[in-house]
Amino acid sequence: MFPLVIRIYYALLITLIFSAANGLDRKISSILNPGCNDCPMNTTTLVYVRADGDSDTIHQIWDFTRHLPTMVMSVGSLNSSLNIKWDGTEPKDFSWSEEPRYTFATVMDKLIEYDDLNDNGYISPQYPQKEYSCKRISWALKESILTEQEAMVHVVGTVHSERHERDGFVHMKVDLLPFRDYAVELPHLIHTANSSLVDISLVNLTVSKEYNASRFALHFVLVSTDDASDTMHYTMRKSLDDEHTPGVFEIIEIKTPSLFKNEEGGYLQFRPVGYTDVERNVASSTMAHVSNFNR
């Protein structure tokens, strides 16, 4: 599928946020593979994070066990709890003590390589393109921090080449800090106790030799407990705070229907910028684009 090997480094920082929950600071607890006695520590990664505020609890699940990186955020009462049952190394049942008040989730299900014929970064159905399902990616846990001060996992996915060339990698870091501040890494998105930072890097991916200008896109599926007839909403706003991300003045948000209508719900937020080098700075920054999405 990918017959030519070149070195690629591309990084993107995304935030998943709940605005339906109350409070800026929370007490967090986290555990790796809760309830699983047979899970290898380095190849099975499911993290459960509980974040208690003054009047509610946010439950988060970061799951890589089915190869599709999945992040679930549910808000419930302080008395709510979650129990996970396993079948070997796969979670089979998620049982709530009470129905969550609201749930929002996102899944990264595929990578798309496309030939950027107009060299503008946008993906179009008219462009030659190839899809690579994330089900074919093998994830391994590289590092983790699971304390009362931070919940973080860094996993590395191996993108297997079909013709025995060098494998590529997808690095994904998910981080929750139970207070409001700017992220350490560029583009310095704001994080709160109601959000998780997701940092994605594409490293050494192999490109198709028949493409003249290969680019890669990440495909996400977003779901929520809103009515099935509703849809997500794309919004873009200007940022006045250019001190933290020089040269990037836009913030893009994809909001759930409940948030768009009632100002309570979940959303995915990012600045439209990526980085082509491990050292992130203005010189290595490049624009990122959002394609049209459907229901």
H or E segment and range at residue 271: none
pLDDT of residue 70: 96
Residues (pLDDT < 70) of the chain are 1-14, 17, 19-24, 162-165, 239-248, 295
Helix, strand or coil for residue 136? helix
Number of C-beta neighbours around residue 21 at 10 A:
25
Number of C-beta neighbours around residue 246 at 10 A:
13
**Cα–Cα–Cα angle for 15, 135, 65, nearest 5°?**
70
- The C-alpha atoms of residue 226 and residue 236 are separated, in whole angstroms, by 22
Residues 14-36 have pLDDT tens digits of: 677 676 566 568 999 999 999 99
pLDDT of residue 3: 33
H or E segment and range at residue 258: helix 257-262
pLDDT of residue 199: 92
Residue ranges of E strands in 116-246: 129-133, 137-146, 151-159, 168-176, 181-182, 190-191, 195-203, 206-207, 214-224, 233-238
pLDDT of residue 196: 92
User: And the tokens for 161?
Assistant: 């080449």
Residue given tokens 């909001």 in the structure block = 255
Instruction: Give CB contacts under 8 A, 24+ apart, made by 91-100.
Output: 91/36, 91/46, 91/63, 91/65, 94/61, 100/59, 100/74, 100/75, 100/76, 100/225
Backbone angles phi, psi at 228, to 5 degrees: -65, -20
| pTM (2 d.p.) | 0.90
Q: Are 27 and 156 in contact (CB under 8 A)?
A: no
pLDDT of residue 20: 54
pLDDT of residue 94: 96
Helix, strand or coil for residue 164? coil
pLDDT of residue 7: 38
